[in-house]
Amino acid sequence: MKPLATSARFRALAPPLVTGLVLLAAWEGACRFFAIPEFLLPAPSAIARVFLSDAPTLFRALGFTLEVTLAAFVCAVVLGTLVAFVFVQSRAIERSLFPYAVMLQVTPVVAIAPLIIILVKNTQAALIVCATLVALFPVISNTTLGLRSVDPGLANLFALNKASALATLWRLRIPSALPLFFAGLRISSGLALIGAVVAEFVAGTGGRSAGLAYEILQSGFELDIPRMFAALFLITAAGVALFLAMAGLSTLALGSWHDSERRAER
């Protein structure tokens, strides 16, 4: 079975990898053929050259951005899960509080980030707060929906056996919610990174340097566009890595028993 699984994984990865290589080759060829200046559109080779030469600085900035992202992601998961458990206790509570969660989601973080950075004296803590606000809603909505998406037949079975509310929550509601919960994690992890980068942009315009967003700002001011693209590449790679990590965690938790993951493996 393992060779078959490896072959299937290779067939899944080959098309996007080949497409990416073709696009990179076309990008490089277009930049060379049309002699496009680096300050307009750098070629992949120029980006790679700057990436290698400035790797220590860029990876140090990446470390700061990931530190903020992961802290915000953990806060969003803990707070979002707790809020979801509160929501499912009563429809009245959910109807009363859920609109405010929606308001939190639709409010642009770039509009409230300056206020948060002013109110929270510690810059890193302010960035974590901003990123948490961006990443919070998917965890709340997906976990709440999952906790309510219980098979009626199983719910009746638990009721017939006079299962306690705690037993029903632990043995029925939580297992039923896990697929949607992990789907929320995949979305929230990317949003935490976006929130961290946006908050860093706001902090960077105020002269506070550290993360990749500040490196992008500085590169833009200096018209060092290859360095800007190198920083953008690191942000993209970090987002993909976070998504894959959450997908792997979902497979690890659900792969042996839940139909959603078992079907995906076939």
Q: What is the pLDDT of residues 17-48, one digit of tens each?
A: 888 899 999 999 999 888 888 888 899 999 99
Residue with tokens 């961290």: 196
Residue percentage of the chain with pLDDT more than 70: 90
AA identity, residue 107: T
**DSSP per residue, 65-89:** HHHHHHHHHHHHHHHHHHHHHHHTT
Residue 224 in any domain: the answer is yes
Residue 254 in any domain: the answer is yes
Residue 7 in any domain: the answer is no
- When divided into structural domains, the chain yields a total of 1
Residue 17 in any domain: the answer is no
pLDDT of the residue at 90: 82
pLDDT of the residue at 38: 86
Residue 85 C-beta-side C-alpha neighbours within 13 Å: 11
Residue 14 in any domain: the answer is no
Q: Among 113, 118, 120, 126, which Cα is nearest to 71's?
A: 126
Which CATH number is 139's domain given? Answer: 1.10.3720.10
Distance, CA of 48 to CA of 229 (rounded, Å): 9
Question: Where does the chain have alpha helices with state H?
Answer: 2-33, 44-53, 55-87, 91-106, 109-119, 123-148, 152-160, 165-168, 174-205, 212-221, 225-254, 259-265
pLDDT digits (tens, 9 = 90+) for 77-127: 999 999 999 988 888 888 888 888 888 888 888 888 888 888 888 888 999
Contact of 232 with 194, CB cutoff 8 Å: no
- Torsion of Cα atoms, 86 then 89 then 94 then 95, to 10°: -150
pLDDT digits (tens, 9 = 90+) for 119-164: 888 888 999 999 999 999 999 999 999 888 887 787 787 887 777 7
Q: Is the pLDDT of residue 204 over 80?
A: no
Residue 257 in any domain: the answer is yes
Q: Is the pLDDT of residue 203 over 60?
A: yes
Task: Please tell me what DSSP assigns to residue 107.
Answer: S
Q: Which domain holds residue 79?
A: 59-265
Mean pLDDT of 232-258: 87
Q: Specify the pTM.
A: 0.87
Residue 35 in any domain: the answer is no
Residue 200 in any domain: the answer is yes
